[in-house]
Structure 1
C-alpha cells in the first residue's frame, strides 16, 4: 500500500484488557484509554488509566422475600406457642388455688383440733365443725310429688333412668296415685301374685329389682317406684318408654 502523508499505515495502539473482575461481579473496572497525538510524528503509546470502584448490588427481591418469610414466625407455630403459654398459666393458677385450699384446710383442722382440746380440758363436748353431726338427709313431703322426688334421688345414685314426668304419667295410669291399690282380676292375680302399689308391681318382680337402701315392702311408695323403674330400665330402657301395661 503506498505511503500517504498523514496516514499511519500501522499505528501502534495499546490494547487494554480488564482483569481481576470477580465472577460474582463484586467490583467493576472502569477503563479509560488516551491515544497519542498523530501530529507528533511518532507513535506514542496510548496512556491507559485504570480505575476500580466497588459496585453495590441490589438484593434480589425474591431472596429478600424469602429471608423475610424465614425471619417472620409461622402463624401456626405462634398460635401453638400462645396456647401452650395460656395452658401453662392456667395450670399454674390451678396449682396455686389447690395449694391455697390445702393450706386453708390445714389451718381449719389445726383450729378445730385446738378448739376440741380446749373443750375436752373443760370437760365439754368437742366444739369443732369436724365433730358436728353430718347434715340431715333431705326431707320430702309424704305425697305423690315427694315420693317421686325421693325415688329419683335414689335412682340417680344407682344410675337408673326415669324422668319425673315419665314416672308420674305411668303412676296415674296404673294406680291413680294410690300406693295401696291391688289388682285382683288380671292373670297375675289369678296366679296368686297380684300387682300392687303405685306402679302395680308383682312380688317376684319387686324382689328381683329391689334397690338396696329402700324398704323391702312392695307397697312402700318409694321402694315401689324405684324397683319398677329399675325393671323398666332393664326391659325398655327407661320408664319414660312405657306407655301401657308393662
Structure 2
C-alpha cells in the first residue's frame, strides 16, 4: 500500500473515533471516494501525503442510515415506554389488591364483632328473667301481689288471700263500705280487701301504686297489715 493511502486511512480512523454512534453506523454504509486535488499529487509520495484529501458521501446512503437509526431509536423509546407503563400497571394492581385485602379483613372483623355482640345480647337475654305478665282479673291480681310479697318476705297463700277477698268484696276492686264505723269516721274501707286509708298508707309497699282501689296495691298492703297483726292473711277468717 502506498504512503498516500496509509495516511488517508489514518485520518479516516481518527475521524471514526471522534464521531458518535450515528457516524460509526454511517461509515459502514457510506462509500468514500478519494479525489486528489491536481496532477501534481502523482509526482511524489511525500507531496501526495501532505496534500489535502476531499471525501465525498453518497447522500442517498446517508439518508438511509439516518432513517435506520431513527427507526431503531423510536422502537427503543416505544419499548421503554411500554415497560414503564407495564411497571406502573403492576404497581396499581398490587395497590388495588392490597386495598381489597384490607377491606376484606375489615369486613371480617366487623362481622366478627357483630356476631360477638349478638351472642352477648342473647346471653344477656337468657340470663335476665323474662318479664312476667299477669291477666287483668282476680287470679292475675292475686298472683302479681304474691310475687311482690315474696320479694318483701310478706307471708300469705293464694287460698288465704282469695278466701278473704271473696268475703270482703266478692272480688270487686271498686267495692266501698259506706255504712260501718269507719265510714262514719270518714275513712271508709275500700278495694278487694277493704282497707281504710290510714292502714293502706302505713302498710303500703314501695313499687305498688298509692291507690286504695288498685287491686295489686290493695292486696299487698292488706297482707302486709295482716302479717303484722295476725302473722299472715291465712290466719284471718273474719273482719280484721
Using the size of structure 1 for normalisation, the TM-score is 0.49
Structure having the higher Rg? 2
Greater relative contact order (Cα < 8 A, sep 6+):
2
- Greater fraction strand: 1
- Greater fraction helix: 2
